[in-house]
Amino acid sequence: MFNLEKLNAKQREAVTTLGGPVLVFAGAGSGKTRVLTYKIAYLVTEVGLPPENILAVTFTNKAASEMKERVQHLLPEIDTGRMNVGTFHSISARLLRREIHRIGYTPDFTIYDQADSRLLVKQVINGFSLDLKQYDPGSIQTLISRLKNNLESPDSFREAGSGYRDKIIGNIFQQYQETLKENNAVDFDDLLLLPLLIFEKFPERRQVYQQQFQYVLVDEYQDTNRPQFEFVHALSSEHREICVVGDDDQSIYGWRGADIRNILDFEDAFGESKLIKLEQNYRSTKTILEAAHAVITKNVHRKEKKLWTENSDGRKITVLENNSERHEAGTLVSALRWNDGREYKLSDYVVLYRTNAQSRPLEDEFRKSGIPYIIVGGVKFYDRKEIKDVLAYLRVLVNPLDSISLERIINFPPRKLGRTTIDRLKALAADENIPLYEAIPKAAKAGAGIRQQKALAGFYHLMKDLRKRLQECTADDLIRLLIERLELENYYLEQAANDGVERWSNIIELVSSVSEFQENNPEKGIKEFLEEVSLLTDIDRWNDSTRAVTMMTLHSVKGLEFPVVFIVGLEEGLFPLQRSSEDDKELEEERRLFYVGITRAREKVYLSYARTRRRYGGEALEMMPSQFIGDIPAELLDIRMTRTSRRFSDERNPRKVYLPKPSAVKSTKVTQINEGEFVFHKLFGKGRVVEVRGSGEEAKLTIAFTGGVVKKLIAKYANLRRLSKY
């Protein structure tokens, strides 16, 4: 129950500090969720603030649900349904349902996912009669999203552009936005931008929400982008009752717009603030924390802090060297087999990698060895074709203006409507300035054939009848009726393809999902279900109860923890990525990503790399171990060569072979490096200094190592030895 004595001194300070902005630097495993939930309970019980006047923003639905459950446990007498807890996107979507009519949309707008947005961009490009190879829809969609995250408009992009291509892309951006509005649809970026537009155009509505949300809490603040910052700033800048919790060392989403300056410059934005550091870690061993700290302190742009723990020292971090990526997969399987059933169960393990493509050789080896595994970030359930087809029907029933969803279903199940017929309907809709849906009854005028007119009439009457049922049917009754009218069971089970049964099973699972939603939310309908589905993430659907190894990218593991963590592919050019070698900012984010990965572990960490790896389908390339391994003090590592055997050596009977130490080479400790000198690095081996910028410990060195590897290192961190001979 609610008792502040269960908190440590710093946690208690974070919970009870009020009367101005509060910035809580919460290190990995330091109990930030505990602080947030206790602060909500404190605001309700000790300050007397009604739950509906508190806004708590998280980054995943899973985190939001956990927060609600924890608050409910602390305050069983409080109705947590009155709390405003959710992700930025879900909170914004809720606000827009009430306010979006002010800017020309209707409340039943559709939320387009990435695939829908890309398809719409493609349609816009085709509408301009542009070459899809020259103007790639995926690349342009990514650019539009980045521009939106930077609060740039089509006009500002065109003005800042340097040529004809930028002008064309600006036109595509503008037409994309106009078509979204015509479809009564928003994309993920609009969910964040449109509330800001409403606040700007209707300041009285901003005041309404400022008064409603009398205290604002933000989780994972280091991952906020500019629109998210502007949103919480707009709500809290007047009363200044805001508490943000985050860790700059875990800011890993710069590539999708997150701005680490939001947390580092918090006081500049919100004025005089209280800064509190949570540095006691309850998750990991001392060894894991020492290793993580040794790596992250190489970053320049961070607030000084160091995690500590009362946990035991724990076991050393095992470094596995392998011949190749296939060999790496075999070594991983051996390690899993050795421990499974003895010390850990399969669900205790997570295998982390930098890029999704790295999972393939691991999956192959797992399948051959009969080891069950789950991939977080594969094809999501709601992204499967059969599921998206049914969801598209539901979206059109709710919002007939949604032409993207309408085009998806107009010939599904097949109605023998060709591309020509659909293009004629679209042309008629454009000529008469009407939505595509309203052009369907005018198929004859559009020039459709008799058979096509009949098929379109049947489709239109089906949709018209089902739309009448929207208000009288529950969500689960509506989807059952839709599936029955479409005869989807026969359609899938009569298919010659082997996956027909599986696809029908997925449809059944979708119905179960809708029924579960209806049971948990009896007052809500299909519109709310569609919104929830649109905002789901991979992590929201993952659970750790399955007896299987979990595999995911390092970006996906944020917020999770496991007894044992494997990080594979720790090679220069792969992790850190090659592009980061020329950009200090990107290298720092790669280092933070490694920090996030290693601090997910409670008890044991394995770091694995391959001496050769096949890249881009070509021949195997020689690889160098990641500099991140070299940043960890040698006394924390148990380094094992596994090149000659696929058998994994248990720590209780190891056959240890260590990487050569610098002391084994005739050398002298570096005090000042000059161009042209030869040096030795414990991971990269021998090299020649080709450039020196600056002097002393802060000098930046460019070194060409054997094997064609060129690295940029800072002298004081490089731990180089000068060679008397090369």
Catalytic residues: 32-33, 219-220, 250, 600
Report the alpha-carbon distance of residue 181 to residue 401 in Å, rounded: 9
Structure tokens at 52: 């509906």
Report the alpha-carbon distance of residue 713 to residue 293 in Å, rounded: 19
Structure tokens at 29: 């495993």
- 655 dihedral zone (left: phi>0; alpha: psi -120 to 50; beta): beta
| Residues 521 and 344 sit within 8 Å (Cβ to Cβ) | no
List, in order, residues 6 or more apart from 325 with CB less than 8 Å away: 358, 361, 569, 610, 613, 614
In the chain, count H helices and then E strands. Answer: 30, 23
DSSP string across 521-582? -TT--HHHHHHHHHT--HHHH--S-SSSEEEEETTTTTT--EEEEEE---BTBBTTBGGGGG
| Residues 713 and 722 sit within 8 Å (Cβ to Cβ) | no
Cα radius of gyration (the chain): 28
The number of residues making up the chain comes to 726
Helices (H), 303-434: 325-339, 359-369, 385-398, 403-409, 419-432
Report the alpha-carbon distance of residue 521 to residue 423 in Å, rounded: 40
Structure tokens at 126: 């085709």
Report the alpha-carbon distance of residue 444 to residue 634 in Å, rounded: 78
Q: Reduce the DSSP state of residue 508 to 3 states and report it.
A: helix
41-53 exposure pattern, b = at least 16 Cβ within 10 A, e = fewer: bbbbeeeebebeb
As beta bridge partners, residue 350 has 550, 565
Amino acid at 196: L
| Residues 667 and 680 sit within 8 Å (Cβ to Cβ) | yes
Report the alpha-carbon distance of residue 678 to residue 669 in Å, rounded: 12
| Residues 9 and 261 sit within 8 Å (Cβ to Cβ) | no
Tell me the angle at which helices 385-398 and 526-534 cross, rounded to the nearest 10 degrees.
130
Q: Exposed/middle/buried for 65, CB within 10 Å: 0-12, 13-18, 19+?
A: middle
Report the alpha-carbon distance of residue 455 to residue 80 in Å, rounded: 49
Report the alpha-carbon distance of residue 235 to residue 222 in Å, rounded: 18
Report the alpha-carbon distance of residue 545 to residue 20 in Å, rounded: 41
Structure tokens at 525: 């309908």
Roughly how many angstroms between the first and final C-alpha of the chain, as a whole number? 67
DSSP 660: P
